[in-house]
Structure 1
């Protein structure tokens, strides 16, 4: 009888961080690991392990607490606790490839610029002008709608200086 799989296929390809670290000398401190789902970005994303504490109470031996120097999309962010070590998508970078893998290309450094303001949509502009006229304000000035961008680690967008 053939095996028949039901449900979605898992997208994790690799091992857990503890499965990798427990087979290395000094629990992998100083070695470079990366999550396979972060390899989709053109910039490099990886961790250089600084401290690994295995969870010996876990019966499956899949849990550990680890810290590492984080490089996300080509930017070095400092030392962080690795919270996703239990996910089975970690890969170990071989020692002879670490130097070439950890070099950051300057061609991906450019961040895209977007304006701080955009034109109002026609219907919204008409509604705002009606409200301004009803309140007795001057509605003849050109109106622009401000854009609010969440600025974080993942968002690599910077806003251009734009004057009203």
Structure 2
């Protein structure tokens, strides 16, 4: 009977630990987190964690811009902060913000990664406009046709598979699908000239 209660307790504790994360100050104090290479140890002495900066700012730095050393071209605008009140100096927690990557804003709030790593810098107020007004140079785009002729082998295989289909005088065409997003340079036009 005792073994059943032990397994039930173990399952319950597993469920609780999955549902509720450990407080950040406990994660940082754990021995796995404290074992770091020398370069990271030197960086910890010179750089600051995000909450070491946020706890010195009014309103916990909401609305301010921060940049990570590992991603100098990308910056975060802090929108929401959840402080771990159990830590002694309140220098741990979770933060959310809007990421601007290569001059393009993501447009929605995300949890900021590596907030408890020593790699954050506050962007001074007088430099914020330079970061916010930055527009990347437009990439050279090349046009890709919307339709291309069907490859000859595929056309022969199609005729053999469907001999009852009528043959037109027009050359059979296949729609060419390309991935479209802000980082790709290919563009396509409809026959009337409008961009896809």
Q: TM-score, normalised by structure 1?
A: 0.60
Residue in 2 that maps onto 1:82: 111
Whole-angstrom CA distance in 1 between matches of 2:148 and 2:87: 57
Paired residues of 2:49 and 2:115 also in contact (CA < 8 A) = yes
> What is aligned with 1:130?
156
* Partners of 2:147 and 2:176 within 8 A in 1: yes
Instruction: Provide the secondary structure at the position in 1 that maps to 2:156.
Output: helix
Matches within 5 A, 1:95-110: 95-105=125-135, 108-109=137-138
The aligned residue for residue 50 of structure 2 is 17
Q: Distance in 1 between matches of 2:120 and 2:147?
A: 42
Q: Does 1:143 align with 2:173?
A: yes
Alignment-derived partner of residue 64 in structure 2:
31
Residues 145, 57 of structure 1: alpha-carbon distance in 2 compared, 3 angstrom cutoff = farther
Alpha-carbon offset, residue 57 of structure 1: 5.1
Q: Which has the higher contact order (CA 8 A, sep 6+)?
A: 1
Answer yes or no: is 1:65 the counterpart of 2:90: no
Q: TM-score, normalised by structure 2?
A: 0.52
Secondary structure of the 2:63 match is coil
Gaps of 5+ in 1: 1-6
- Aligned match of 2:30: none
Q: Which has the higher helix share?
A: 2
Instruction: Note the alpha carbon deviations across 1:27-58, whole angstroms, 9 max, x for none.
Output: 11221112344435xxxx32222322213357
Q: Is the 8 A contact 1:16 1:86 kept in 2?
A: yes
Superimposed CA distance per residue, residues 81-116 of structure 1 (whole angstroms, 9 cap, x where no aligned partner): 3341436343221223222232223x6255735425
